[in-house]
Structure 1
Amino acid sequence: MTTNTRRPDAPADGTVLQGTSPAQGWLVGRDHVDMSRPPRPYRPAVFAAEPQSVTIDAGKTALLIVDMQNDFCTVGGWLSSRGIDITPNRAPIAPLQRMIKACRAAAVPVVWVNWGVRKDLLNIFPSLRHAHSPRGDEPGLAEPVPGTRSEVIAKGSWGAEVVDEINPGTADIQITKHRFSAFWDCETDSVLRNLGVTTLMIAGVNMDQCVMTTLEDASFLGYDVVLIEDCTATTSPRFCVEAVLYNVKLLFGFVTRSEAVIEALSQGATL
C-alpha cells in the first residue's frame, strides 16, 4: 500500500510527496514528477571516538538499539530464568535514556530492533533452534518458560517487548528480527535506506552476539558504524567485550560514549 503525503509547502496544483521526505521521495503532480530528491541541510556533529574522532551528519544518522527487551534485560525473562545474571544488560538503560532523549531532540531517528520469532518457527533453522536449547532439555524458541512470563523471544510476547524504562516513543521505528543480525532476512536495511540513513550509532545487547553481528553486517552493507560503548553490554565474560571493542576499532568503525554524542548533538546538530 502506497501512502501519499501532501507537503506543507506543496503548491496549489495538488502536488504530493510519495516517500518518507523530500530528500527520499518523489513530488508527484498530475502532469509532472520531480525525482530530484533535494539534499537535506547539512547538520554536522563532531565528537571524540576511537581510534579517531569523527564528524557525522545528524540528518543522515540513526540510533539503532538492539534487543533491549524483557527476555534479556528483566528479571523473569528468559536469561534470568536460566540463572544468568542480567545485571550487566541493565547497565545501558540509564545512558540510553539520555541518548534517546538527545536523538529525539535532534531529529535523529530512533530505531528499535528486537527478537520476535514466529510461534510456529517455520522460518527458524535447526542450527538456530540448537543455539537456544543446545541439549534439547530446556525451553526452546517460542516455548513458555515455567514460572515466568517468558515465551522465549516469541513475537508478540512479553519477553519480546522493550524494557519499561526505555519504551519506544510514538515517533520511533520498531522492527522485529529472527536472526542474530538485524540485517539478515529482515527489513532493517530497506527501512534505513528509505530514511536516507548512512551512519548508524549502535547500542543494545548482547554486545558480542546480536550487537556485533548487526554492526558487522551494517559495515558490509556500506553503513558508517559507531558503537556507543556505555549503551552496550553483554552477560558474557569480559574478554568478549574486549574482543568486540578491539575488532570494531580495528576493522569496522568507531567506538565512543554517549556523553560525547549528546554534547555534539546539543551543540550543533539540532533543528
Structure 2
Amino acid sequence: MRRLGSTYANSWGATENSISLLRPERKPKPISVPSAPQTLTFDLARTAIIVIDMQNDFCHSDGWLASIGVDIAAARRPIKPLQTLLPILREHDVPVVWLNWGNRRDKLNLPPSVLHVYDPAGEDKGIGSPVGAADRKVLEDGSWNAAIVDELDVEAEDIHVSKYRMSGFWDTPLEGILRNLRVDTLLFAGVNSDQCVLSTLTDAGCLGYDCILLNDCAATTSPEFCEQATIYNVRQCYGFVATGSDLVKALRK
C-alpha cells in the first residue's frame, strides 16, 4: 500500500482498489521539563518549534531596528540558546518552522495599520521602506533584510512560512502546514516575545494547540515590564513557560 499525502504523518494508504483513511501510528515520545507552577510533560512526536523573526532587520547591527536607534542587544539574546537547541530537536525529528516577515514588494496585502508600525508619522521609515546605504527594503521577501541571521543554521528539511501581520496565522499557510504535520504542541521562540511571538502564540492557543514559550529562546527590545507581562499572560491564559536549556538537558538524558 502506497502513502498518499504531503506528509507521512497525515497520509492515506492507497492502492488501485482501495483507500485507507487510517493515518500511520506514531509511538509517543514523552518528555518532561520544569515549568511554573507545575512540571510539564508533552509528546515530542506531536511537537514542532516555531522560530519567529530571527531576521537581519531585527537582529543585525546593519538592520532596520538598529538603523532607527533601537538597541538590538535583547533581540540577539535568543541566538546562542537556539544554536544549541535546534540541532537537538532535529535529531529527535521535531519540525523546525521559521516564521518570518517576508513582504511583497508592492505591499498590496499590508493595511495602513501594519505600515504604521515604527512609522507613525508616515515618513517612509517602516515596513517596505529603504534602509541603509545599499537602499535595501525593510523586511522585503527575498532580501538580505528578511533573511535569517547567519549565526543560526537553517537545514534543508526546515519549513519556511512568510507572514504579514504580528500573528503568523493571518493570510499565511501556517495552520494548514501544522495540520499536515499533525502536531498538538508548539514550542515558541524568537522576537519580539511581546509582539509577534505572543500574537502568534495567542492565536495558536485559541485554535486549540498546546503552547509552550521557551523563555530563554525568546526576547524583546521592549521595556522589561512588557516581557514580564508576556510571561504572566502566557502562563495565565494561553499556555506554559519553560526554557530551552531545560529542554536540552531533558533531551540529552
- State the TM-score, normalizing by the size of structure 1: 0.90
Is the 2:117–2:126 contact (alpha carbons within 8 Å) kept by the matching residues of 1?
A: no
- In the other structure, the counterpart of 1:34 is 20
SS in 1 for 2:186: strand
**When the two structures are aligned, how many residues end up with a matched partner?**
253
Contact 1:51 1:254 in 2 (8 A): no
**1:8 paired residue number:** none
The 5-angstrom pairing of residues 172-251 of structure 1 reads 172-251=158-237
**Which has the higher mean CA deviation after the structures are superposed, 209-218 or 23-32?**
23-32
**Which whole-Å CA distance do the structure 2 matches of 1:146 and 1:94 have between them?**
26
151-160 vs 22-31, which deviates more?
A: 22-31
Unaligned runs of 5+ in 2: none
Residue 80 of structure 2 aligns with which residue? 94
Deviations for 1:178-208, whole angstroms, at most 9, x for unmatched residues? 1111111111111011001110010000011
Q: Distance in 2 between matches of 1:88 and 1:262?
A: 22
Deviation at 1:138, TM superposition (A): 3.7
Residue 256 (str. 1) matches residue 252 (str. 2): no
Letter paired with 1:68: M
Taking structure 2 as the reference length, the TM-score comes to 0.96
CA contact (8 A) 1:77 1:150 kept: no
CA distance in 1 between counterparts of 2:223 and 2:111 reads 27
Give 1:74's match in structure 2, choosing from 52, 60, 63: 60
CA apart distance, 1:260: 1.3
Please state whether the residue corresponding to 1:131 is helix, strand or coil: coil
CA–CA separation in structure 1 for the residues paired with 2:172 and 2:36: 30
Residue 51 of structure 1: how far off its partner (Å): 2.8
Helix, strand or coil for the counterpart of 2:189? strand
Deviation beyond 6 Å, 4+ runs, structure 1: none
Query: Equivalent residues in 2 for 1:27-176 (5 A)?
Result: 27-147=13-133, 150-176=136-162
CA contact 1:181–1:213 (8 Å) conserved in 2 = yes
Label 1:148 to 1:71 Cα distance change in 2 as closer, same or farther (>3 A). farther
Aligned partners of 1:138 and 1:32: how far apart in 2?
58
Question: Residue 180 of structure 2 aligns to which amino acid in structure 1?
Answer: N
Task: State the shift of 1:131 in Å.
Answer: 1.8
Query: In 2 relative to 1, CA 120–49 (structure 1 residues): closer, same or farther, beyond 3 Å?
Result: same
- Which has the higher mean CA deviation after the structures are superposed, 123-132 or 170-179? 123-132
CA offset digits 1:197-226 (Å, max 9, x no partner): 110010000011000001100000100000
CA-CA distance at 1:148 after TM superposition: 5.2
Identity, % of aligned positions: 44
Report how far residue 52 of structure 1 moved.
Answer: 1.5
Provide the secondary structure at the position in 2 that maps to 1:192. Answer: helix
Question: Do the aligned residues in 1 keep the contact of 2:62 with 2:132 (CA within 8 Å)?
Answer: no
Work out which of the two has the higher radius of gyration on C-alpha atoms and give 1 or 2: 1
Secondary structure at 1:94 match in 2: helix
RMSD, aligned CA:
1.3
Distance in 1 of aligned mates of 2:185 and 2:4: 24
The amino acid of 1:51's aligned partner reads P
C-alpha distance in 2 between matches for 1:148 and 1:229: 35
